[in-house]
Structure 1
């Protein structure tokens, strides 16, 4: 075989593969260089599996009670121990992922949808409408999110659906302010003025230029807000406004576990750790997405 020198052409596939892998290598190195972000991503994947197919992770029934196994400390049979009714804590933690993620995602969607509508009305409407909408937003901002959610639940009653609605409405004001601020910036951009000058209708300008550019950074910030809504839902469950027992729910497990904190601390430790890891992981991914969108570190 003749030696390959500089004048020998390389195969076409090799020529195309080199820049392709060279372009991907920095992204791979970025994930490897930040193990915390990689662990956060893996934990979120684990949460999705637990929410969609919990039977893949645990084989038991989260409602199955066994009085003989009550308050059993973590061991080789019950990895995270059992509760006051002898139910496996690991199984209950896994099955509690779905309602927590559903609450976080649905409440964020409600807050983002209603907040975007208010923000667009304030940013694109006349001055009197802007003032009226923002005064309403200021009134809602005067209440802490949890207190506002409690007021809403008081009127509409308890339950998973009402908790989602309450947490979602409580998050509306911050999204409304962010969307209004972005809309005021975008509406004065050169490309919006150019589209208007070329005769593009107002509704078309809003749909094609204002809304996509105003909502894009808000969508990334909403990712971080999912974790906050999960904490709010767990707090409402802890106060007794979530799904009634014995439904597996992190906040409800904390509320019951505090009664046995002295002799069975694991009843509180594991759901608290699950909430913490979930919020930290989702927030880490959201901040990374925000950093990449801005092109700089936060």
Structure 2
């Protein structure tokens, strides 16, 4: 008589589930920290009054250029304004610039790239030649030129930054569409009589979005960095409540006597850009079919 264990099905006897590990790796800790940073800054942008201890426009002549302390966590500027409150309230315009410029530039570039790659022919040649001409100009220089030409304002800054990102999004989207539209499942759908628009909507576009979404996620941090650079040069948003780049520009003249005015807004920009890049890298790993199928 055979051993009873030999009669058990293979999936019960030999295939064992790996033990679940609750140990968090360094990459997971970095991801959670990045998510917390982004979440905190989003809360600051939506409800700054809940986070900031003071009004960003409140000036106190008795608290000029005070270093970080219990009363003022990040010190005060040359007007006696609380630097932490300035950073909290300034996050609204900074995040708005990053999101809006990615939406405008990503949609415009994505539509151009998808249309060019799917239609092909002379339309593809014309669009790509225009895109290649724009790509010869660095995005920051193109944004500077446009912002200087149309004047400083929130909408103009968004348009200037978005214009510099359109070529990159168009190239990425076109390359994805070209690689997807010749695959077997697209050919099979065409052979059963599906229309070109249906094939594009059901098959080509959904399978082309993964790298585009990753690029758009990382682009938010890049756009905020560019917007802060424009504000630092005096071409950004001019409002009573300054954004991060404007706070940097206002504090550069006091760097030797009040280092905190420039340091902490700069750290806020660096932390947000780093957090967005970490999230974008993890999103890229999740959407990569070679890694997800392993």
Q: Does 1:124 align with 2:122?
A: no
Render the CA deviation track for 1:119-164: whole Å, top value 9, x for unaligned.
0222122321111111111111111111101222233221011101
Partner of 1:202: 196
Q: Which residue, out of 243, 251, 255, partners 1:257?
A: 251
Q: Which residue, out of 32, 38, 42, partners 2:32?
A: 38
Partner of 2:268: 274
Partner of 2:158: 164
Partner of 1:111: 105
5 Å matches for 1:212-251?
212-251=206-245
Tell me by how many angstroms 1:112 deviates. 1.0
Alpha-carbon distance in 1 for matches of 2:126, 2:26: 50
Render the CA deviation track for 1:265-293: whole Å, top value 9, x for unaligned.
11110000000000000110111010111
Tell me by how many angstroms 1:55 deviates. 1.7
Tell me by how many angstroms 1:235 deviates. 0.3
- TM-score (normalizing by structure 1): 0.87
Alpha-carbon distance in 2 for matches of 1:246, 1:254: 15
Alpha-carbon distance in 1 for matches of 2:239, 2:41: 22
Tell me by how many angstroms 1:69 deviates. 1.0
Instruction: Tell me the matched-pair count.
Output: 275
Render the CA deviation track for 1:90-127: whole Å, top value 9, x for unaligned.
00101111111111111011111011111022212232
Alpha-carbon distance in 2 for matches of 1:161, 1:33: 37
Alpha-carbon distance in 1 for matches of 2:133, 2:270: 31
Partner of 1:143: 137
Whether the 8 Å CA contact 2:172–2:211 is kept in 1: the answer is: no
Secondary structure of 2:205's aligned partner: helix
For structure 1, the 5+ residue unaligned runs are 1-21
Partner of 1:13: none
Distance 1:245 1:264, change over 3 A: farther
Tell me by how many angstroms 1:296 deviates. 3.7
Alpha-carbon distance in 1 for matches of 2:30, 2:96: 25
Alpha-carbon distance in 2 for matches of 1:163, 1:203: 35
Alpha-carbon distance in 2 for matches of 1:123, 1:29: 45
Tell me by how many angstroms 1:31 deviates. 6.5
CA RMSD, aligned part only? 2.0
Partner of 2:4: none
Render the CA deviation track for 1:38-77: whole Å, top value 9, x for unaligned.
1111111111111111122123111111222110111111
Whether the 8 Å CA contact 1:50–1:57 is kept in 2: the answer is: yes
Alpha-carbon distance in 2 for matches of 1:154, 1:132: 28
For structure 2, the 5+ residue unaligned runs are 1-16
Alpha-carbon distance in 1 for matches of 2:196, 2:28: 45
Partner of 2:9: none
